[in-house]
Structure 1
């Protein structure tokens, strides 16, 4: 059901229709004609609305280490791209399917399964650079004006299909099919020419960011080969990004003409995050542990040593995890990702106070580090230090107000210290972030009934009520 729901969401996210560009060989000049149809600020607001729907419907992969890696990788690429509005939001989806997408307003989504598929950091970067190119060339804004009359009906139909699919998958698919059939968007999400433009702009971004341009055709070829493993249904990425022999040849020819960096090896960070995805998506913790034991015996690389540690943690083999940690070389032990994994290991073994102490030490080394702060808050919560955990989650919610997981954990922790108003307010923000406006308004009503509210408390709740109603109305107009 989660897989179906995610597929429907991805169909919705690709719903804005593109158009072909005038020139096959030169990237289009970005001018005011596109902005006259939909401004960058309007795209940003649309992207925030998409984000709310996505958070509420698609399962997110709650891994602060992997999330931070992907965000850092995007920010390595972004300054070298042509994206004008750099207020970018990233989503890491808990889905092993091969997919990535970009939505107007700077929303980038990546399935965890994409990281599993890529064999190098350059290949992963090539997909992200390609998605950034779709944003920079504003393909989504093309022909929007002429489709404006049909778009709301189509998007409303798709939203209805998503909701129906939660209870009746066949009915949901029927709604989607009829909506798509009645719409002009019954072809692929992007024209071939738009894909070519994204390839060209993406490769320029890739090279400027220090990656091997040949990583892009290498990734295309890998995706094309993946057809054989999917039978009649190709990966989601290929449904919206068709790969042909000519496209692979075109990107290969272009890559040969561009400078190649001296170092084409993947970073250790990429190898560590790929190991995290390998363990996370395993079907059996015992089998993945056996696989890493065999791999480590054959080749005790840093990545295999880390994978052995992760798989031992996942399988609950605490003594093996500890002995593996002790045997890691000092160079690996000092890596921030591995030190954060040590916090996870201590928590899995029930050593919560030690986990908190280590998190405190790491915050001294990496002040303000987001994954360390999240791991520390989790450790405080598990250690029963709920007051301190609530303070940590509240601090994170102020710095990252669009992190729904932080708000969820904050509400749970505030409940344990009997902060009733705090619970209501955290839940209100969570519901607003996940496009559950009726639940948010209901929660505001519950909060208003609490005893002991001050005048300032009531004013704050009433202001949030007005804002929630305005958000709900805005989304009704958009969709």
Structure 2
């Protein structure tokens, strides 16, 4: 937590320093009220570099199944949105609070708690569509232009508040100095006009994607009612996306003029993912068991049955979990999410060979599935098949090079295989993705000390060293 406070202080100091250093850093400026402060390509680079800080400070939810569901939902909405640059990166944060955010450069972040707070997939989609609209309307750039009319600020200052909320999983950062807190809140909050624009564009996206556009005003209205009379601090999402009665009424009126839903997606996937997160965010695994035993006794729905299976697995009650699995109807066992859960269940029950076989069989049905390949690698590693795990993690790191977790796991497996130079190279990539440039350069030094380096290995190390120094310099100029 101290490290996070220090980082945020630095970001704010860099923001203030931009008043005298804007020309030195050659920051682009707005020409009129409709132009962008920075180009889409510059936004892309800024977003990717800011995401390095996010990875280093905020815990990611290491759940390939839930992540794939969320990413699929974003990509279901994206073609219907007005977003110009569609190089989108989705982050699912291991944070039980209710929040979502969009950062210039195509960064969409969702706290796990948001999925728990939504009652339907349409509500979740409405928040995602709203965040996509902030990107398509270039609201961050507009906000920066408005700030510069009175006091020049770098975009980094506006993004610091997002980092606070993303990294604060226990409320420990909620009490900040009044000056820093007010500054971040003012920089991050969107104007009423911005919110109305995002509502309008977001509802159009929802309707075009086959969702009920009324899900958006219904979601925001329910949130407002739930927190209006509480003395507690409202969720970060309501602080940065202020909701008023007039805004809800206006958005509801607009939604009623849009087409009603068509080609609706199955609600089952949403319910299953919500059960996964309910188990994950339970205070204890035993509490999860008690919750889902009671829920299943009251109503043996698919979501409650699946949640009970997950709870037993999490609590190490493998015999009970197997009993639940054997009793699952085919309508559930035919679901890819449930099929992949079987792999997790077998790994946790210390049956990695069976898990590996299950993964191979499913990959024949769903070739190239990202979560399946991640689970296959996990199963292979658990079974002691390190060469196979290495092969799969190398494929994943190649196909998804910005996923830091794959590089971390690759370094672990290469270490088990005594591949020393491979460990260094994977660690360097991990440190680059998590903004730990000093550690990345230290790994380069360690690697150069290894005996018998080939010319190809020396060339790769030299390239990684140049990249680390270049990104570090670029981030100094951006932030």
Q: Is this a same-fold pair by TM over 0.5?
A: yes
| Residues 98, 236 of structure 2: 8 Å contact kept | yes
- Matched with 2:288 is 288
- Matched with 1:151 is 153
Q: Which runs of 4+ in 1 moved over 6 A?
A: 2-5, 169-173
CA RMSD, 1 decimal: 3.1
Pairing 1:142-221 to 2, within 5 Å after superposition: 142=142, 144-145=144-145, 147=147, 150-152=152-154, 155=157, 177-179=178-180, 186=186, 189-221=189-221
d(CA) in 1 for partners of 2:477, 2:174: 23
d(CA) in 2 for partners of 1:447, 1:34: 50
d(CA) in 2 for partners of 1:2, 1:310: 35
Structure 2 unpaired stretches of 5+: 17-30
> Secondary structure at 1:190's aligned position in 2?
coil
- Matched with 1:351 is 351
Structure 1 unpaired stretches of 5+: 17-30
> Secondary structure at 2:110's aligned position in 1?
strand
| CA distances 1:67-125 after superposition (whole Å, capped 9, x unpaired) | 00000000110000000000000000000000000000100000000000000000000
- Matched with 1:437 is 437
d(CA) in 2 for partners of 1:110, 1:402: 17
> Secondary structure at 2:388's aligned position in 1?
helix
| Residues 158, 179 of structure 1: 8 Å contact kept | no
d(CA) in 1 for partners of 2:225, 2:2: 26
d(CA) in 2 for partners of 1:184, 1:283: 31
d(CA) in 2 for partners of 1:461, 1:172: 42
| Residues 33, 142 of structure 2: 8 Å contact kept | no
> Secondary structure at 2:258's aligned position in 1?
coil
> Is structure 2 residue 83 aligned with structure 1 residue 77?
no
> Is structure 2 residue 447 aligned with structure 1 residue 474?
no
- Matched with 1:331 is 331
d(CA) in 2 for partners of 1:276, 1:231: 30
Change (3 A) 1:112 1:184: closer
- Matched with 1:310 is 310
- Matched with 2:20 is none
d(CA) in 1 for partners of 2:254, 2:362: 44
Q: CA deviation at 1:34?
A: 5.1
d(CA) in 1 for partners of 2:340, 2:155: 47
Q: CA deviation at 1:178?
A: 3.8
| Residues 36, 142 of structure 2: 8 Å contact kept | no
d(CA) in 2 for partners of 1:332, 1:349: 21
Aligned residues: 455
- Matched with 1:112 is 112
- Matched with 1:86 is 86
- TM-score, normalization: structure 1? 0.88
- Matched with 1:400 is 400
| Residues 158, 188 of structure 2: 8 Å contact kept | no
Q: CA deviation at 1:222?
A: 2.0
> Secondary structure at 2:387's aligned position in 1?
helix
d(CA) in 1 for partners of 2:267, 2:203: 19
d(CA) in 2 for partners of 1:447, 1:334: 47
Q: CA deviation at 1:343?
A: 0.3
d(CA) in 2 for partners of 1:118, 1:2: 32
Bigger Cα displacement from structure 2, 459-468 vs 353-362: 459-468
- Matched with 2:382 is 382
